[in-house]
Chains A and B, each alone.
Chain A
Amino acid sequence: QKEVEQNSGPLSVPEGAIASLNCTYSDRGSQSFFWYRQYSGKSPELIMSIYSNGDKEDGRFTAQLNKASQYVSLLIRDSQPSDSATYLCAVNDPGNNRKLIWGLGTSLAVNP
């Protein structure tokens, strides 16, 4: 059974702090990794993708990938109340590249 695991949270951080969201995956063959943000009552939206080991930065967001440890993380710097949402980690299914395997998500609350 291919799995993606995330801490369900809620993760609570004060405004301006760094929020760190973590994800582990079971299949070493996965090559593509994604972070989606989902506001309550809304649909998931892609915020970051990463394919190589190391860090990828986009504004206040940094994705980190460590394939040896089968670990991917998302850092949100200078967290804002508008970042409060559920963050979904998804990885490609190596047996079927058009499929994504999804984590259950981590709920983030940024407190003013």
Chain B
Amino acid sequence: DAGVIQSPRHEVTEMGQEVTLRCKPISGHNSLFWYRQTMMRGLELLIYFNNNVPIDDSGMPEDRFSAKMPNASFSTLKIQPSEPRDSAVYFCASGGGVETQYFGPGTRLLVL
């Protein structure tokens, strides 16, 4: 099993640009979580999907953030326009239940 796959692994962009992060969950998992991690705020849940349906997006910081899961094997997190304060590590995790969250390697985003 390849585990959760995320791309890109690193992204450097300029303020105002659109950023799209991608995630392929583990096959058979029906839950998908997007997290953001910073030193100051730790690990924050942005949004999660169950069976491809967004269940809770209360952690999405602003309208600049959006997430989609068009099918069971793919999800995107988009930031438009990006700002320097969005710089963080973004993790995607998948699982069959809350106690089985498996994290991807993360995307390190730097917005200049």
Contact = CB atoms under 8 A, between A and B. Distances in A.
Do A and B associate with each other? yes
Interface of A: 32, 34, 42-46, 49, 88, 92, 96-100, 102-105
Contacts of A96: 56
What 7 pairs between A and B have smallest CB-CB spacing? Answer: A43-B103, A104-B42, A102-B43, A98-B98, A49-B99, A44-B103, A43-B106
Contact of B42 (A43, A46, A102): A102
Contacts, number: 44
Interface residues of B, number: 20
B90 to A, nearest CB: 11
Interface of B: 31, 42-45, 48, 50, 55-56, 91, 97-106
Main secondary structure of the interface of B (DSSP, over half): strand
Contacts of B98: 32, 92, 97-100
B48 A99 contact: yes
A14 B105 CA distance: 30
A46 B106 contact: no
Given A43-B104, A43-B105, A103-B42, A98 B99 contact: no
Contacts of A43: 91, 103-106
B105 A32 contact: no
Given A32-B99, A103-B42, A98 B50 contact: yes
Most A-side CB within 10 Å, residue of B42, B55, B104: B42
A75 B85 CA distance: 36
Contacts of A46: 99-102
Most B-side CB within 10 Å, residue of A34, A42, A44, A97: A44
